[in-house]
Structure 1
Amino acid sequence: MSTNHKPLSKKQLEETLIQYRHHFHEYPELANREFKTTETIKAILTKWGIKLLPTNLKTGVFAEIGTNVGPTVALRADIDALPIQEESGVPFSSKVPGVMHACGHDTHIASLLGGAYLLKQLEASLPGKVRLLFQLSEEDKEGALQVINDGQLKGVNAIIGFHNTPHQPIGHVGLRSGITTGAIDKFKVTLTGVGTHASAPQNGEDPIAALGYEITELQSLISRELDPFKAAVLSITHLSAGNTWNVIPSIAFFEGTVRTADKNVRQEIKDRFFKIVNYTALAHNVKADINWYAGDPSVDNDPTLTKIVKDETAKFAPIYVQEQQLGSDDFSCYQDIIPGVYANIGNGGQVSLHNSHFTASDHLLIVGATFFEKNAVRLLKDLKTNHQRVNNNDSL
C-alpha cells in the first residue's frame, strides 16, 4: 500500500466496505457469470497495491499478501448471486431483474476486501503469506473445484471463511469443531413403462403407479431404516408424468436430493436407494434408470484450528456454538485437501437464506473483515511455530 496515503480509520474502512457491499448487492451476477464483480474486485485490490495472481478461470479473483518466507493461509469469500427477484425493499436492492444476492455473498466479498486492506498494512511483518480467494460459482456447487483445479491452493497450509447467518445477533460468531453441514447428493429417476389408453390400463405398464410406490418406499428409508440418532434427509422435489387426461404415459420421472452428515450413512442411503428403486420398478414391470450425482462433502472443521480461531475471535466478538445443519457449502472441498475452519457470523436478519425478502446488516462487514485479519495473522504465527502442521501442498 502506498505510503502517500494515510490509512483509513476503522470507521472510514467500515463506511468504505458498506459502499462496496451496496454496489455488489445492486449489481449481482449468477454463478460463472460474475464478470463485472470480478473486474470491480480486481480494481479495488489493485488500487490498494495488492498482488493479483494469474488464473485460467474467466471469473473469480485470486491475490496474495506477504513478502516473508513462511506458511500460507487462504481466506475465502464466494461472489455469486441467485436467480431470485428481490423483494427485500432495501434502498440498495438489486437493479438486475431476476437476480439477487439472496445468500449474502455480497457481505462476504466486502468483508474479505476489508480483511485484505487491513492485512496489506501489516504486510512487512506477516510471518508468511495470505492467499485471497474470491471464489466463483458457489451456488452451482462447482466453484471450489474450479479453484482447486486452477492451482490456487498450491502451497496453502490452512484455509478459513465464514457465512453470514440469519436469526443470530449482528456480529456474533458461530464456531463448531468437526461436522457442521451436510453432504449433498442429487438424484433423478426415470421410469419407463408401456403407454396405453386410460380406459385400458391392462394393456400397458403404468409408470405413474410405480412412481407413487417409489416415493412411499423411499420415504420409509429415512423413517424406518436409519438410526434416528444419525441425521439425514431425503427430499423428492420434482416429478412429472404424462400430458393429458386420458392417456397413461410410457415415461415418468422424479428427482430430488439426499443430505447426510455421516460418510457411512451417505453410502448406506445410496446403496438402499438403488435397491428400493430397482426392485419397486421390477415389481411394477417398468424399467428404472437412476442418475446419481455426488455433490459436496460435509464442512468438517479441523479441531486444532477451530480452537485457535475461537480463542482469537473471542478477543473482538461474542462467540456462540454453531448449530449443525444439513445445508451444504463447497468450502468443504477445500477441507478435503487442507485443514480449515468455516464459521458463521450473525447478520441480524429474520428471513432465511435464498428468500426474496432476505436482508443482512451492513454492521457485520467490519466484524467479518476483522475475523479475516486477526485469524490470518494468528494462524500464520501458530503454523510457523508448530512446524508439524506445515506441509506445503506443492502438488496441488
Structure 2
Amino acid sequence: MIDDKSIEKKICEEFYWFHRHPELSYEEINTTKRIRQDLQNEGIQILDLPLNTGVVAQIGSGDQPVVAVRCDIDALPIQEKTELVYKSETNGKMHACGHDFHIAVILGAAYKLKQNESDLKGTVRIIFQPAEEAPGGALDVLRTGVLDDVQAIFGLHSSPLFSVGSVGIREGAVTAAVDHFEINFKGKGTHAAHPQNGIDPIVAASAFVSSIQTVVSRNVDPFAADLISITHFQSGNTWNVIPETAYLEGTARTLRPEDRQLVRQRIYEMAENTAKAYGAKAEVIWHDGPPATNNDGEWAAFAKEQAQKIGLDVKDSPYSLGGEDFAFYQEKIKGVFVQIGTGESYSNHNPHFQVDPAAIFPAAEYMAGMAADSLGKIKK
C-alpha cells in the first residue's frame, strides 16, 4: 500500500505531467488515459460509464451512504507565458485555471481513501470531470446516472488570492450563474448619404448598449452582485453604406435566481422595444449557462471544521461573477465548493497563472478527510 510520502511525491510528479500536457474540453484523451492508469496502479475501481473523456472511480463498500468528490480536467486555449520548467509543451494550450492542480489533489485524495478503504462507512465516488470550461461536462456526468444515489458532493478550486495552507469557504453562492446572449438588430440598408431611405441598425444597437446598463443600476437590488457586459459588436463592411444588420453578443452574470430571471426578461424587452423605437427589429438568442453555485449551510460548516482540524487557515471565499459548472451538481445534491489557497499569483485564465505545488498534498489530505468523515455524518 502506498504511504503518505510516496503519495506526495507521486501526485506532484503527476501535476507536472498534466501541466505539460494540457488538453481542451472534450479533447482530454491522454489526460483520461493517464488518470485511469494512475487509479488502476493502486487497485482503485473505475466505473464503466458512457463518457468519451473523464473518469469516475469508486472507493469503499459500494453501499450507502454515498458521497462524491469532483475535480475538472480540461485546459484552456491560452499560450503559456510562465518560465516554469514544466511549462506547457503544447502550443496555444495551457492549464491556466488550475485544473492540473485539481487532478493531482483528487488523485491524492483517492490514494488516501484507498489506504483506509476498510474503515470507510460507505462509498466515495471520485469524479474526474471533462469540459468544465466548455461548460457542460457536469451535465454529461449527471446524465450517466452515476450520481443518482449520492447524498453529498464536494468540489474544489485553486485560488491565487490565498496563500498555501489556507482555504476559502462560504455558505450560499460563491460563483455566478453565467448566461450568454446574442442579439441581431435588423434594419434596412441604404446609401450612407440617404439615411432617410433606410433603417439604421447601428443606431438601434448602440442605443441598446447604452441603455442595457440601467437594468443593473435601476432594476435590481443595489446590494446584489449582477453584471451585464456587451463584449462583441459587429456591423457593416464599408464606409458609405448603412448596413442591414448589427450583431451584439454578451454575458449576464447573477448570483440570485430571481435576478437571473429578471435580467433575462429585461434584456429581451429592451432589445425588442429599443429596436422598435428606431423602426428596426431585434432577435434575441439566449444560451443558458451554469447556475450560481449554492453551498449548503450545514456542509459549509462541516468543511470549515474539517479544515480547522488539520490546521488549515479558514477564510471566507470571495464572491466571484465567474462561472463554475459544479453548480449543476448542486442543483440536485447538497454539498460545498471550496477555494484552496495555491499562493498569490496572476489571476486564473492569465497566461502567467501558476500554482505552488506545496499546496497539493495538504489539499489532498483535506479532501480525503472531508469525504471519509462525511460518511459518518449521513444517516443511512
Aligned counterparts of 1:68 and 1:197: Cα–Cα separation in 2: 72
Aligned counterparts of 1:63 and 1:141: Cα–Cα separation in 2: 22
What's the offset of the Cα at 1:199? 1.2
Aligned counterparts of 1:301 and 1:310: Cα–Cα separation in 2: 12
Match of 1:394 in 2: none
Q: Which whole-Å deviations, capped at 9, do the CAs of 1:98-157 have from their partners, x for residues lacking one?
A: 000000100000000000001001111110011010000000111000000012213211
Q: Which blocks of at least 5 consecutive residues in structure 2 are unaligned?
A: none
**Which residue of the other structure, out of 73, 85, 90, is the alignment partner of 1:79?**
73
Q: Which whole-Å deviations, capped at 9, do the CAs of 1:234-256 have from their partners, x for residues lacking one?
A: 00001100111111110111011
Q: Which whole-Å deviations, capped at 9, do the CAs of 1:193-245 have from their partners, x for residues lacking one?
A: 11111111111110111111010110121122222111100000011001111
SS at 2:357 equivalent? coil
**Which residue of the other structure, out of 27, 33, 41, is the alignment partner of 2:35?**
41
AA in 2 matched with 1:66: G
SS at 2:164 equivalent? coil
What's the offset of the Cα at 1:266? 1.0
What's the offset of the Cα at 1:68? 5.8
Q: Map 1:89-104 onto structure 2 (within 5 A).
A: 89-104=83-98
Match of 1:350 in 2: 345
| TM-score with structure 1 setting the length | 0.94
Q: Map 1:1-396 onto structure 2 (within 5 A).
A: 6-8=1-3, 10-67=4-61, 69-316=63-310, 317-383=312-378, 386-387=379-380
Match of 1:391 in 2: none
What's the offset of the Cα at 1:70? 2.8
AA in 1 matched with 2:113: L
Aligned counterparts of 1:107 and 1:244: Cα–Cα separation in 2: 48
Q: Which whole-Å deviations, capped at 9, do the CAs of 1:155-186 have from their partners, x for residues lacking one?
A: 21110011000121113111111121111111
Aligned counterparts of 2:62 and 2:281: Cα–Cα separation in 1: 62
Aligned counterparts of 1:125 and 1:13: Cα–Cα separation in 2: 19
AA in 2 matched with 1:372: M
Aligned counterparts of 2:137 and 2:53: Cα–Cα separation in 1: 10
SS at 1:300 equivalent? coil
SS at 1:87 equivalent? coil
AA in 2 matched with 1:328: G
AA in 2 matched with 1:341: V
Aligned counterparts of 1:247 and 1:284: Cα–Cα separation in 2: 18
Aligned counterparts of 2:2 and 2:53: Cα–Cα separation in 1: 30
CA RMSD in angstroms comes to 1.1
Q: Which blocks of at least 5 consecutive residues in structure 1 are unaligned?
A: 1-5, 388-396
Aligned counterparts of 2:217 and 2:61: Cα–Cα separation in 1: 56
What's the offset of the Cα at 1:69? 3.1
What's the offset of the Cα at 1:306? 1.3
SS at 2:212 equivalent? helix
Aligned counterparts of 1:259 and 1:101: Cα–Cα separation in 2: 24
Aligned counterparts of 2:242 and 2:16: Cα–Cα separation in 1: 53
Aligned counterparts of 2:27 and 2:334: Cα–Cα separation in 1: 29
User: Paired residues, what number?
Assistant: 379
| TM-score with structure 2 setting the length | 0.98
Mean CA deviation greater in 69-78 or 111-120? 69-78
Q: 1:349 touches 1:358 (CA, 8 Å); kept in 2?
A: no
Mean CA deviation greater in 221-230 or 290-299? 221-230
Aligned counterparts of 2:215 and 2:160: Cα–Cα separation in 1: 31
Match of 1:390 in 2: none
Aligned counterparts of 1:89 and 1:104: Cα–Cα separation in 2: 16
Aligned counterparts of 2:217 and 2:53: Cα–Cα separation in 1: 43
